[in-house]
Amino acid sequence: MIYTCTITPSIDYTTYLTEFRTGKLNRTNEVYYYPGGKGINVSRVLQRLGIKSTVLGFAGGFTGDYIKQFLHNEQIETDFIATQDITRINVKIKSEEETELNGPGPSINHEQQRELLSKVKALQVNDWFVLAGSLPNSIPKAFYQALSAVCHKNGVHFVLDTSGTALKDLVQTKPFLVKPNQQELGGLFDTKIKTKEEALFYAKKLTEDGIRHVIVSMGGEGALLVTKDQAFSAKAPNGTVVNTVGAGDSLVSGFLASYIQYKDVKEAFRYGVASGSATAFRTDLCNKGSVESLVSEIRINLLHE
Ligand SMILES: Nc1ncnc2c1ncn2[C@@H]1O[C@H](COP(=O)(O)OP(=O)(O)OP(=O)(O)O)[C@@H](O)[C@H]1O
Ligand SMILES: O=P(O)(O)OC[C@@]1(O)O[C@H](CO)[C@@H](O)[C@@H]1O
C-alpha cells in the first residue's frame, strides 16, 4: 500500500487570465479550486493511474473539509490529523507567466506529531511512504528524521520530495527515491545547476551517499534518473504547456505506479516523465489516457552504466 504524507496541504486557487498586472485590479473568469500540496497531488495521480493510496497529513478548517470531501469524491482514502489552523490557500496565476503565492504551513504541536508518527509506525514491510511538499520549521528536524528511521526499520520504502533545509537534512537518511528539481538539487550543494551534465554530477553524489534512486526534474528539459549503477536522461515531449503545477508530483506518481507493477526502473522513469508532461499540458493533473498517449514519445538515453 502507498501512503502519501502532506504536512502542508493547500487548496490551489488556480486562475487563468490573458494579462496579469501587479498593482492593478485584475478580473478573471476562469478559476479552479483543486486540493493541492505535493503528497495529495501524488495520490490524485496514482488514483487516475489505477493505483490506490491513502493520504496522510494535517488538515483543518473549512479548507481542510473541502480537501477531504474532494478527495472522498475521487474515491481517495484520507487519514488526516485535524489542525487548529485553517489549511492554506495557494494562489496560482496563469497568464503570460506562471505566478504562485504559497501560504505558510500549519503549526503542529507535539501531540499531533506523535499521532502522525504512530500512523507511520503502523505501516507494513514493503509499504511506501511518500513525504512530499514543504515541511514547516515549527516541527523539529528530528521529527522528520524519526519518520524516516521508522520506515527504514520496518522495511517501508521512503520516498522524499521536499525542498530547502528539510531536503538537506533528510537526504542523509538515504531514501529509496528523491525527486529534487534542478534548483532544489543545486540548493543541496549550495550551487546553481545550469546543465544536465552538472545535474548528473550532483545526482551521482547523492547515490554515492546511499540514495537508491535520484530523479532530477528539469521542467521542459525533461529529467534525469540516476541509480548506483546507471544514469538515464529523458527529453520532455513537445506540447502546449497549460499548467505545470503538480508536474513534478505527477512524475513521482507515474514512476511509482509503473515501478510497483513491473519493477523496471527505466520503464518507470519513462512513464514518470510522460506523466509529468501530461500534467503540464492540461489544466488539472494528468489522467491515464493523457499519460499513455505520450509514453511512446519519451526517448530514454543511457548516460552511463
Ligand atoms: N514545459 C514543459 N514541457 C513539457 N514537459 C514539462 C514541462 N514542464 C514540466 N514538464 C514535465 O514535468 C516534469 C516535472 O517538471 P518540473 O521539473 O517542473 O517539476 P517540479 O519543479 O517539481 O514541479 P512542481 O513542484 O510544480 O510539481 C518534467 O520532468 C517534465 O517531464
Ligand atoms: O509550498 P510547497 O509545499 O512547497 O508546495 C505546495 C504546492 O505549490 O506544490 C504543489 C505542486 O507541486 C501544489 O499543489 C501546491 O500548491
Q: What is the pLDDT of residues 39-76, one digit of tens each?
A: 999 999 999 999 999 999 999 999 999 999 999 999 99
Annotation says 12 is catalytic: no
What is d(CA 104, CA 87) in angstroms, rounded to the nearest whole number? 9
Domains, the chain, with CATH or none: 1-20+31-175 (3.40.1190.20), 179-305 (3.40.1190.20)
Phi, psi dihedral angles at 298 (to 5 degrees): -85, 110
pLDDT in tens, 176-206: 999 999 999 999 999 999 999 999 999 999 9
Q: Does the beta carbon of 249 sit less than 6 angstroms from any atom of ligand 1?
A: yes
What is d(CA 129, CA 148) in angstroms, rounded to the nearest whole number? 9
Which of 4, 6, 10, 283 gets mutated to test ligand 2 (max ligand atoms within 8 A of its CB)?
10
164-173, 197-206, 231-240: range with lowest mean pLDDT:
164-173
In this structure, what DSSP letter does residue 232 have? E
Atom of ligand 1 nearest to the CA of 38: 27
Tell me, in angstroms, the distance from the centre of ligand 1 to residue 223's CA.
8
Confidence band of 138 (pLDDT split at 50, 70, 90):
confident
Relative to beta strand 231-234, strand 300-304 is antiparallel
Confidence band of 240 (pLDDT split at 50, 70, 90):
very high
Mean pLDDT of 5-27: 97
Query: How many CA atoms does the CB half-sphere of 183 hold within 13 Å?
Result: 5
Question: Cα(first)–Cα(last) distance of the chain, in Å?
Answer: 31
What is d(CA 111, CA 86) in angstroms, rounded to the nearest whole number? 18
pLDDT in tens, 244-262: 999 999 999 999 999 999 9
Contact indicator for 248, 161 with CB cutoff of 8 Å: yes
Q: Does the beta carbon of 276 sit less than 6 angstroms from any atom of ligand 1?
A: yes
Specify the amino acid at residue 64. Answer: G
pTM exceeds cut of 0.90: yes
What is d(CA 259, CA 269) in angstroms, rounded to the nearest whole number? 8
Q: Does the beta carbon of 300 sit less than 6 angstroms from any atom of ligand 1?
A: no
The residue whose C-alpha atom lies closest to atom 12 belonging to ligand 2 is 246
Tell me, in angstroms, the distance from the centre of ligand 1 to residue 249's CA.
9
- Given the cut 0.95, state whether the ipTM is greater than it: yes
Confidence band of 231 (pLDDT split at 50, 70, 90):
very high
Q: Does the beta carbon of 217 sit less than 6 angstroms from any atom of ligand 1?
A: yes
Query: How many CA atoms does the CB half-sphere of 294 hold within 13 Å?
Result: 29
User: 101 burial class (0-12, 13-18, 19+ CB within 10 angstroms)?
Assistant: exposed
